[in-house]
């Protein structure tokens, strides 16, 4: 099944691309990454209403769903624009709205409007499929963790309790990717308040949205690397001819294109499946994350190889999508972690069902 974007989604794509070209060009991204300051990038997201994607208009959002979030992510990944605070807020808002709690809905609306920075306090290295054990937990690699308020999903039997936490101890992670902001969080002793409960299915749906968004971010970065590489091999000459005329280089660029288009198909279908609520949406989200991120890593490595060492220098624009892909590969679960989820699903589907005699 081929997923085509609607006219409204195409308009969103063009609008985001235009804003990135105007307000988040490579020069601006370089300065943000150098200073490890993402406030300016987040201000752009707030002005454009990107913080409200996936939240309905009645709650201060822009509407849309995971497909729209993926469209946004692809263009921001293409520009290596820092948007961790926006993504963290969009994921947290899905859970807050699902709880039906008045305070939670109010917090989701504030996140959508950009007046409060909200993040989901979970380990950023693992697929989001289960809540944390305790509201006093210590968590690593929390996306957007330096937020005004953290939302902690805590295990409570068949349900998940949501707790709003302020005053947690956060320690920024020193990353090679200067466009990404992850922190370690110690929740012990922090002030917390209840924000209702949600089902495990709601938590996993939020995890699927997060996986799709990160996969789309990697897809956008891979597409940018492909364009940079094709442009470079057309201009770079050796033995008096462009290196792009060499068969080995052509084959490398062609494989990059295959990887980008394969990743795009997986991301778009996965986003549609999650929005549509199909029975195997979790499977398609895992496929999108594993396929797109693994393909993007191959594209990144080939792009750097075809550029030579110049591609990794601070002065070259290639370094930003390259590093972004490497961090996307691990955020919310590596390709191997999502393949493990797929394998577990296949085993469960193949297990015979006992029939009472």
With pLDDT > 90 as the criterion, what percentage of the chain qualifies? 81
Inform me whether the pLDDT recorded for 357 exceeds 70. Answer: no
> CA 108, CA 91: separation in Å to the nearest integer?
10
In angstroms, the Cα distances linking 48 to 15, 17, 25, 144, 345 are: 9, 12, 16, 19, 39
Question: For residue 165, what pLDDT band results from cuts at 50, 70 and 90?
Answer: very high
- How high is the pLDDT of residue 130? 93
Of the options 3.40.47.10, 3.30.1240.10, 3.40.718.10, 1.20.140.10, the CATH number for the domain spanning 203-349 = 1.20.140.10
Q: What is the mean pLDDT of the chain?
A: 93
Question: For residue 356, what pLDDT band results from cuts at 50, 70 and 90?
Answer: low
Q: In this predicted model, what pLDDT tens digit does every residue of 170-212 receive, in sequence order?
A: 999 989 999 999 999 999 989 999 999 999 999 999 999 999 9
> CA 112, CA 197: separation in Å to the nearest integer?
20
| Overall pTM surpassing 0.85 (yes/no) | yes
Average pLDDT for residues 34-38, to the nearest whole number?
A: 85
- How high is the pLDDT of residue 226? 97
Q: Which of the residue ranges 46-55, 90-99, 270-279, 310-319 would you say has the lowest mean pLDDT? A: 310-319
Inform me whether the pLDDT recorded for 243 exceeds 80. Answer: no
What is the residue extent of each domain of the chain?
A: 203-349
Q: In this predicted model, what pLDDT tens digit does every residue of 309-348 receive, in sequence order?
A: 787 788 899 999 999 999 999 999 999 999 999 999 888 8
- How high is the pLDDT of residue 257? 97
Inform me whether the pLDDT recorded for 214 exceeds 90. Answer: yes
> CA 344, CA 357: separation in Å to the nearest integer?
28
Question: For residue 13, what pLDDT band results from cuts at 50, 70 and 90?
Answer: very high
Strand 182-186, strand 149-156: pairing: unpaired
Q: In this predicted model, what pLDDT tens digit does every residue of 118-153 receive, in sequence order?
A: 999 999 999 999 999 999 989 999 999 889 999 999
Inform me whether the pLDDT recorded for 247 exceeds 90. Answer: no
In angstroms, the Cα distances linking 71 to 66, 162, 173, 271, 315 are: 9, 28, 28, 10, 28
Residues sharing a CB contact under 8 Å with residue 321, sequence separation 6 or more, in sequence order: 77, 78, 80, 220, 221, 222, 224, 225, 228, 300
> CA 325, CA 177: separation in Å to the nearest integer?
9
Reported as half-sphere exposure (CB side, CA atoms, 13 A), residue 300 has a value of: 25
> CA 88, CA 294: separation in Å to the nearest integer?
23
């Amino acid at each position: 099944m081929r997923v085509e974007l609607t006219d409204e989604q195409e308009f969103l794509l063009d609008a985001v691309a235009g804003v990135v070209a105007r307000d988040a060009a490579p020069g601006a991204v370089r300065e943000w990454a150098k200073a490890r300051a993402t406030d300016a990038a987040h201000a752009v997201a707030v002005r454009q209403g990107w913080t409200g994607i996936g939240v309905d208009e009645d709650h201060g959002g822009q509407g849309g769903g995971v497909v729209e979030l993926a469209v946004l992510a692809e263009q921001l990944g293409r520009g290596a624009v820092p948007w961790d605070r926006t993504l963290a807020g969009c994921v947290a808002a899905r859970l807050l709205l699902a709880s039906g709690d008045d305070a939670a809905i109010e917090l989701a609306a504030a996140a959508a409007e950009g007046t409060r920075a909200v993040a989901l306090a979970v380990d950023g290295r693992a697929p989001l499929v289960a809540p944390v054990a305790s509201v006093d937990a210590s968590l690593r690699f929390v996306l957007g963790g330096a937020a005004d308020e953290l939302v902690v999903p805590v295990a409570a039997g068949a349900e998940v309790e949501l707790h709003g936490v302020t005053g947690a101890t956060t320690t920024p992670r020193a990353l090679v990717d200067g466009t990404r902001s992850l922190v370690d969080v110690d929740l012990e002793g922090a002030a917390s308040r209840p924000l209702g409960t949600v089902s495990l299915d709601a938590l996993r749906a939020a995890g699927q949205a997060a996986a799709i968004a990160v996969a789309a971010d990697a897809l956008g970065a891979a597409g940018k690397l492909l364009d940079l590489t094709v442009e470079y091999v057309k201009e770079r000459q050796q033995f008096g001819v462009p290196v792009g005329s060499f068969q080995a280089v052509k084959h490398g660029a062609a494989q990059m294109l295959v990887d980008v288009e394969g990743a795009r198909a997986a991301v778009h279908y996965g986003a549609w499946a999650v929005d549509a609520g199909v029975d195997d949406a979790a499977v398609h989200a895992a496929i999108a994350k594993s396929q797109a991120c693994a393909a993007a890593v191959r594209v990144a490595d080939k792009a750097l190889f075809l550029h030579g060492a110049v591609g990794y220098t601070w002065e070259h624009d290639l370094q930003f999508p390259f590093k972004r892909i490497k961090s996307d590969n691990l955020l919310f679960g590596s390709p191997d972690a999502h393949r493990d989820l797929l394998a577990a699903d296949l085993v469960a589907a193949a297990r015979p069902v006992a029939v009472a005699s």
